[in-house]
Amino acid sequence: LEGFLENFNVSGLTSYNVNSAKFKPFSLNAYIDVNWPWLTVASTNYSLKGNALNYDIYGDGDINGTLYNFRTIMNVDFNLKDRHMQVQTIATKIFLEALDFNVTGLYNNEDMSETFSKTLSDVTPKLIVANQKMIEYIINNIATRIFNKFLSTITFLDLLKAIG
């Protein structure tokens, strides 16, 4: 599968609500529950050609989508390694109320593009619910690597000072 996106952008990232956030330095635990009322993901154009899951896929056109009430909850337990914190475990939950996805030019056929857009919009929130454990596993592994890489650059005391 080969393709490209041009002029890719995301808006709404700064419009988040923190439902709850706790950091317990003595028990080495952090908890955050964050919700974005909407996130708009847009690309003014794309080109795609190849095979995905044994299906040929191709097209040239525009892509845009809006996620509604995207929520993530993370509960992170840390341990101390030398003078640095490291992630011991992460538990993540992801929720998506609705998706409004639109693609043009898929298979160079606007009817097919409209059908695919509607299907993806309808199915994605349900797929997230049905595949929560797999999504959690992927996010937890990626987040652990990212957090531990960052945390290895700052001591526990410096982190406490920064948090304030």
Chain centroid to CA 128 = 11
Query: 2-163, what's its fold?
Result: Bactericidal permeability-increasing protein; domain 1 (3.15.10)
User: What is the residue extent of each domain of the chain?
Assistant: 2-163
Output the tens digit of pLDDT for each of the chain's 164 residues: 888 888 888 999 999 999 999 999 889 999 999 999 999 988 778 999 999 889 999 999 999 999 999 999 999 999 998 899 999 999 999 999 999 999 999 999 999 999 999 999 999 999 999 999 999 999 999 999 999 999 999 998 898 888 77
| DSSP one-letter string for 95-146 | EEEEEEEEE--BTT-HHHHHHHHHHHHHHHHHHHHHTHHHHHHHHHHHHHHH
Which pLDDT tens digit goes with each residue over 30-53? 999 999 999 998 877 899 999 988
